[in-house]
């Protein structure tokens, strides 16, 4: 009789009398195959195959006979694996070790099959029922007394635990976990506590932990409620996170709220996007939305207003309907009720504010006493600390405007800036201790450390620079710009100092203007002086009504008054004016001939004037007129001349000149290149009179016809524009010569007659 392989391990079953001489070998092989049935085997699947057949070989070694079979290979879709023959009934541990993240489906006949996801292992058995054979998941319903999981436990369906559950790794649930109470009907929910999530119908991904937590949720999704009666009124609200007894206890349809702490958001019903963290935080909120409260009793009284942020114990605790407020710090905005658009950061910042709106306070006790005043900004420890009703103030810096009570429209930036100001308004201050002692002075501007430091009641002053106007007390309408500008001024008014050390020593002087480094530097009581330029009028002490413009202009004037000095080193170069008075000098390096020369006018570069005269020219080319005299003179001293000879030009040249009378044309009729030309103008050039004079072209022709006239003769000149000019005074020496020639002829005629 032939051998058969009808057993479940496909072993060779020998008939009586079979395998004579090889029986021992076949028996040993069968024993080895029995052992193989308890082993680990691996079988590869053809790459990207959709189907695969694993056949247990008859009487020979085969990996599928093993108790633990690992399938390998690369898949791009699910692969159905049929185990043959379909009469084998056997238990397997089968691992899906393929790559490509695809399932394998274990089948034997037309009966049930089992799907194994990539990376998973399942315990299966086949029933060997032939063509209708089925493969069954042996652990589909597993009952065990004790189950110890030392790593992740993944449950893809319901899990019921009647005793203790100890997990040392992670617990992942794709279905629903419920401890105590009724089992939720929807998916992705977790409920721990009596009646927690008891009303759930279709809501998903909710978590409720605590007695009655989330008990009314029916269709709401992704809510988290942890604590006794936390979120117990929510029915359809979504995306709420509630932690603490009664947290969000009244919420029904409100969404995206966060409440952490006993009683947090406990009266809110329909408000959305609120965050409450702390005992009783936002506890009275009903329908308001977009509020954030962090800290015990933060925003505790808020009912219906929106967009408030409170961080700190009792921050905004009294707020009822005020909106768009931000309070960070214990007691910040503690008393605020209905005011809007406020920002308070720091302990007790704006703590007394009730209805004042648009205030900003950042710093310990900043704006701490403010009640109804609005539009104030205080940044720094004690900034605007005592302000009550003053509006539109800005204080940045520790103790800035600390004493201000009712003063308004003030700005102070700097530690202790305007610290003593009480009721003064319209002041602008920048710098450490700038405007430090001011009390009631208004409309002042101080920029720089110690600027306007001593000012008390004076108004309308401007000080910019270190110690600028530092000593000023009651002087008004002063302007100082520059380090130590006007630093000693006390009561002087209407002074302007621009430049380091400008008007540095002025005390009670009025109406002075100094622009430039050390300008009017030593002036003490002199008034109505103007100095523009470095060291201009730098030595002036008590003199008044001087004007100097230019570097070192009038730099040595001490007591001389009523001087006007314009130009670099005007009145200082070579000979410096000190006590001279009523002197006007215009020109770089122009000066007087003596330190005390007075009553003089000098115009021109490096020109030198004398007492009682007006001087014009450049360097030594000067003309001078004595005051009250119409005649101009110039130096004609023999000691400055050489090559002196008698002139010959005289009567002949004079006879060639043609004196004429004439009137001027209209400006629009002049050559376009002329200085006086104005297109379309009907205005007469120069004057409307009939004038006496010469024609420049005729004068030039006469000069060219008389070689006895020397090159220094300046009766005729031509400008760059082509305009020709005549200087009649130049003809005087020639006229003298002509008269002398006529005189000689007269003498000759008289002699003939005699």
In terms of C-beta distances under 8 Å and separation of at least 24 residues, what long-range contacts does 235-242 make, across chains too? 235/199
- Is residue 173 predicted with pLDDT exceeding 60? no
Kindly state whether residue 227 falls inside one of the protein's structural domains: no
| Arithmetic mean of pLDDT, 302-312 | 85
State the pLDDT confidence band at 4, using cuts at 50, 70 and 90: confident
Kindly state whether residue 654 falls inside one of the protein's structural domains: yes
The model's pTM is 0.58
DSSP 14: P
**Percent of the chain surpassing pLDDT 90:** 59
Q: What are 640's two structure tokens?
A: 């400055």
How high is the pLDDT of residue 661? 96
Kindly state whether residue 681 falls inside one of the protein's structural domains: yes
Angular region, 686: left φ>0, alpha ψ -120 to 50, beta rest: left
pLDDT in tens, 406-425: 999 999 999 999 999 989 99
* Domain total in the chain: 2
- Is residue 133 predicted with pLDDT exceeding 70? yes
Q: Where are the beta strands (DSSP E) in 380-536?
A: 394-396, 411-413, 428-430, 445-447, 462-464, 479-481, 496-498, 513-515, 530-532
- Is residue 699 predicted with pLDDT exceeding 70? yes
Q: What average pLDDT is seen over the chain?
A: 89
Kindly state whether residue 609 falls inside one of the protein's structural domains: no
Asked if residue 432 lies in contact with residue 426, where contact means CB atoms within 8 angstroms, the answer is no
- Is residue 283 predicted with pLDDT exceeding 70? yes
Using the Cα atoms of residue 582, residue 588, residue 590 and residue 595 in order, give the sign of their dihedral. Answer: positive
Give me the half-sphere count of Cα atoms (radius 13 Å) on the Cβ side of residue 349: 29
Longest Cα–Cα distance in the chain: 204
Kindly state whether residue 133 falls inside one of the protein's structural domains: yes
- Give the whole-angstrom CA distance, residue 280 versus residue 293: 10
Last residue of a domain, one of 99, 117, 137: 137
Kindly state whether residue 484 falls inside one of the protein's structural domains: no
- Give the whole-angstrom CA distance, residue 414 versus residue 364: 16
Last residue of a domain, one of 85, 112, 137: 137
Report helix, strand or coil for 743: helix
Query: Following DSSP, what letter does each residue of 168-201 receive, concatenated?
Result: SS-EEESS-EEESSPPPSSSS-EEESTTTTTT-S
Last residue of a domain, one of 137, 153, 184: 137
The residue ranking higher by pLDDT, 361 or 589, is 589
Q: Which domain holds residue 693?
A: 645-738
Kindly state whether residue 43 falls inside one of the protein's structural domains: yes
**Smallest Cα–Cα separation from 520: which of 510, 535, 499?**
535
- Is residue 165 predicted with pLDDT exceeding 70? no
How high is the pLDDT of residue 443? 93
What is the distance of C-alpha 204 from the center of its chain? 45
Asked if residue 650 lies in contact with residue 740, where contact means CB atoms within 8 angstroms, the answer is yes
How high is the pLDDT of residue 57? 93
- Is residue 230 predicted with pLDDT exceeding 80? yes
Kindly state whether residue 349 falls inside one of the protein's structural domains: no
């Amino acid at each position: 009789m032939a051998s058969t392989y009808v057993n479940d391990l496909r072993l060779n079953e020998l008939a009586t009398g079979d395998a004579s001489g090889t029986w021992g070998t076949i028996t040993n092989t069968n024993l080895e195959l029995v052992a193989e049935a308890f082993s680990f085997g691996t079988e590869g699947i053809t790459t990207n195959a959709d189907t695969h057949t694993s056949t247990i070989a008859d009487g020979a070694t085969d990996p599928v006979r093993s108790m633990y079979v690992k399938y390998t290979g690369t898949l791009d879709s699910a692969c159905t694996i049929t185990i043959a023959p379909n009469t084998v009934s056997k238990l397997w541990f089968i691992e899906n070790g393929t790559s490509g993240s695809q399932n394998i489906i274990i089948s034997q006949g037309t009966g049930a099959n089992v799907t194994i996801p990539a990376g998973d292992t399942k315990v299966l058995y086949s029933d060997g029922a032939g063509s209708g054979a089925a493969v069954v998941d042996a652990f589909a319903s597993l009952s065990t007394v004790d189950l110890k999981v030392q790593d992740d436990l993944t449950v893809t369906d319901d899990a019921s635990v009647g005793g203790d559950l100890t997990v040392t790794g992670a617990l992942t649930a794709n279905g629903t976990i419920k401890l105590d109470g009724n089992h939720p009907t929807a998916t992705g929910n977790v409920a721990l506590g009596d009646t927690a999530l008891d009303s759930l119908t279709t809501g998903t991904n909710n978590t409720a932990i605590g007695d009655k937590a989330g008990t009314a949720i029916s269709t709401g999704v992704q809510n988290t409620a942890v604590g006794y009666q936390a979120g117990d009124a929510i029915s359809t609200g979504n995306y709420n996170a509630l932690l603490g007894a009664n947290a969000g206890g009244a919420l029904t349809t409100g969404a995206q709220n966060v409440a952490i702490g006993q009683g947090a958001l406990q009266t809110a019903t329909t408000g959305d996007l609120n965050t409450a963290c702390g005992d009783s935080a936002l506890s009275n909120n009903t329908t308001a939305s977009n509020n954030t409260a962090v800290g015990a009793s933060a925003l505790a009284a808020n009912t219906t207003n929106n967009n408030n942020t409170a961080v700190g114990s009792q921050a905004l605790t009294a707020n009822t309907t005020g909106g768009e407020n931000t309070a960070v710090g214990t007691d910040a905005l503690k008393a605020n009720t209905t005011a809007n658009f406020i920002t308070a950061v720091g302990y007790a910042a704006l703590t007394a504010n009730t209805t004042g709106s648009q205030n900003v306070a950042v710093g310990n006790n900043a704006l701490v006493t403010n009640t109804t005043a609005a539009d104030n900004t205080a940044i720094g420890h004690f900034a605007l600390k005592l302000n009550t009703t003053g509006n539109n103030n800005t204080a940045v810096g520790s103790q800035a405007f600390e004493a201000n009570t009712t003063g308004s429209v003030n700005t102070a930036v700097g530690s202790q800036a305007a610290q003593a100001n009480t009721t003064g308004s319209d002041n602008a201050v920048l710098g450490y201790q700038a405007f430090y002692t001011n009390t009631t002075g208004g409309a002042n501007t101080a920029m720089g450390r110690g600027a306007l430091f001593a000012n008390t009641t004076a108004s309308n002053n401007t000080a910019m620079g270190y110690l600028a106007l530092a000593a000023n007390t009651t002087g008004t309408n002063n302007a100082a710009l520059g380090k130590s500008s006007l630093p000693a001024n006390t009561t002087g008014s209407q002074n302007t100092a621009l430049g380091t050390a400008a008007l540095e020593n002025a005390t009670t002087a009025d109406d002075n203007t100094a622009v430039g480094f050390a300008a009017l530097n030593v002036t003490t009581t002199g008034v109505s002086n103007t100095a523009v330029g470095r060291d201009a009028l730098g030595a002036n002490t008590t003199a008044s009504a001087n004007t100097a413009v230019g570097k070192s202009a009038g730099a040595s004037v001490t007591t001389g008054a009523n001087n006007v000095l314009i130009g670099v080193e005007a009145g200082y170069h070579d000979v410096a004016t000190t006590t001279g008075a009523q002197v006007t000098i215009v020109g770089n390096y122009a000066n007087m001939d003596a330190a005390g020369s007075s009553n003089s006018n000098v115009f021109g570069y490096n020109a030198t004037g004398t007492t009682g005269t007006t001087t014009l020219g450049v360097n030594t080319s000067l003309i001078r007129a004595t005051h009250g005299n119409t005649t101009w003179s110039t130096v004609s001293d023999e000691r400055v001349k050489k090559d002196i000879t008698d002139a010959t030009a005289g009567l002949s040249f004079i006879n060639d000149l043609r004196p004429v009378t004439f009137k001027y044309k209209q400006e629009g009729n002049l050559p376009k290149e002329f200085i006086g030309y104005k297109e379309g103008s009907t205005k007469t050039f120069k004057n409307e009179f009939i004038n006496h004079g010469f024609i420049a072209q005729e004068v030039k022709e006469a000069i060219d016809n008389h070689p006895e006239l020397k090159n220094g003769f300046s009766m005729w000149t031509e400008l760059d524009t082509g305009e020709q000019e005549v200087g009649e005074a130049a003809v005087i020496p020639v006229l003298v010569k002509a008269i002398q020639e006529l005189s000689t002829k007269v003498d000759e005629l008289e002699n003939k007659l005699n």
